[in-house]
Amino acid sequence: MTNVKASATGPVLARKKTDCAPYLLLLPAVLLVAAFMLYPIGNVFYLSLQHYNPTKPWMNGFAGLENFAKILSDADFRNSLLVSAKWVLAEVSLQLVFGMMIALILNQKFRGRGLFRTLAFIPWAMSGVLTAVLWSLIYNQNVGLLNDVLLKLGLIDTPRAWLANSGLVFGSVVVAELWRGIPFFAISLLAAMQNISGDLYEAANVDGCSRWKAFLYITLPSLKDTIILTTLLRAVWEFNSVDLIYSLTGGGPVGKTTTLSILIANHATKTNNYGYGSAISVISFIILAIISLVYLKASKFGTSE
């Protein structure tokens, strides 16, 4: 009887031991995420309800929803929200279009294809600050490459201040970021294109399908999930992007390139106004979360046509 009991509990204990193992293995990762994601996120929510500026201790304390109420009447916030929306739309759509074009070209068979694929990836590997230095030299009013080329081509009469002219600066920064962002789409789409069966194109060719129609009815539908995922990821990245804009223009002139992320950085690091900066972060989080969920739902991501 005793033997029977022992043999019955043995596997149970063994299973219990086995059941714990995955959790123990996951524990370090969970702890790291908790320390570096959950705690800061929780702290931001907490600070958003506080007046907190270490250099003005007399103002510190519970603020309730005051910071959020202030946001509603803050012209800088409204301006930066608009700039962010323009920025994300311009960047994601242009990067997708140009990335698709490059991916289609690199998907063809030609000599030196490997080299061109490597070259196409280079801008993606460059840091935002380095890219900013490169483009600030290109855009320089007095010694910049762009003015020199345009003057020689007779397209402009006098050198332009690409980063100081309030009508030109947004487009100039968009182009610089575009240059850096295209490879992400090009590589992602190229990888997805290589998974499309050649039989489909062969069959379409036999049926007399043009290249354009093959792209429209075979390539694009096959890339649907990749396009949805990459555009969503890129939109979130661009929304949060700080490095290039900060290094090129610092959000200026006159707020023309101040995105929400730049505004948050300014409030938190320049003015020490952590309470208000956190409230703007919470609003940004909510906006991004809603847009992401709506986008995934509307695009029917992961479902077959």
Give the per-residue contact string, 123-162, with other proteins (x = CB under 8 A; - = no).
-----------------xxx---------------xxxx-
Among 67, 249, 259, 276, binds other proteins (CB under 8 A): 249
Residues 164-193 that bind other proteins (CB under 8 A): 164-166
Region at 144 (left for phi over 0; alpha for psi -120 to 50; beta for the rest): beta
Q: Tokens 């910049």, residue? A: 144
Q: How far is the CB of 5 from other proteins (least distance, A)?
A: 42
Q: How far is CA 232 from the centre of its chain?
A: 8
Assess whether the previous peptide bond of 57 is cis (omega < 30° from 0). no
Closest CA to 120 of 146, 91, 93, 100: 100
- Tokens representing residue 298 in the block: 């509307």
Residues 253-292 that bind other proteins (CB under 8 A): 253-255, 261, 264-272, 274, 277-278, 281-282, 284-285, 288-289, 292
Distance CA 214, CA 181 (A): 27
Give the per-residue contact string, 218-237, with other proteins (x = CB under 8 A; - = no).
-------x--xx--xx--xx
Q: Residue 51, SS3?
A: strand
Q: How far is the CB of 214 from other proteins (least distance, A)?
A: 24
Q: Tokens 């009508």, residue? A: 167
**Using CB under 8 A, which of the segments 17-25, 39-47, 118-126, 202-210 binds other proteins?**
39-47
Distance CA 91, CA 99 (A): 11
Residue nearer to other proteins on the CB measure, 123 or 253? 253
Q: How far is the CB of 270 from other proteins (least distance, A)?
A: 5
Closest CA to 94 of 190, 172, 175, 173: 175
Distance CA 301, CA 305 (A): 10
Q: How far is the CB of 155 from other proteins (least distance, A)?
A: 17
Q: How far is the CB of 175 from other proteins (least distance, A)?
A: 17
Q: Tokens 């850096």, residue? A: 180
**Residues 67, 279 contacting (CB under 8 angstroms):** yes
Q: How far is the CB of 221 from other proteins (least distance, A)?
A: 14
**Residues 234, 98 contacting (CB under 8 angstroms):** no
Give the per-residue contact string, 78-117, with other proteins (x = CB under 8 A; - = no).
----------------------------------------
Residue 39 binding other proteins, by CB under 8 A = yes
Phi, psi angle pair for 209, to nearest 5°: -75, 135
Residue nearer to other proteins on the CB measure, 204 or 292? 292
Q: Which residue ranges make up the site for other proteins (CB under 8 A)?
A: 36-37, 39-41, 43-45, 47, 54-59, 140-142, 158-161, 163-166, 225, 228-229, 232-233, 236-237, 239-240, 249-250, 252-255, 261, 264-272, 274, 277-278, 281-282, 284-285, 288-289, 292-293, 296, 301-304
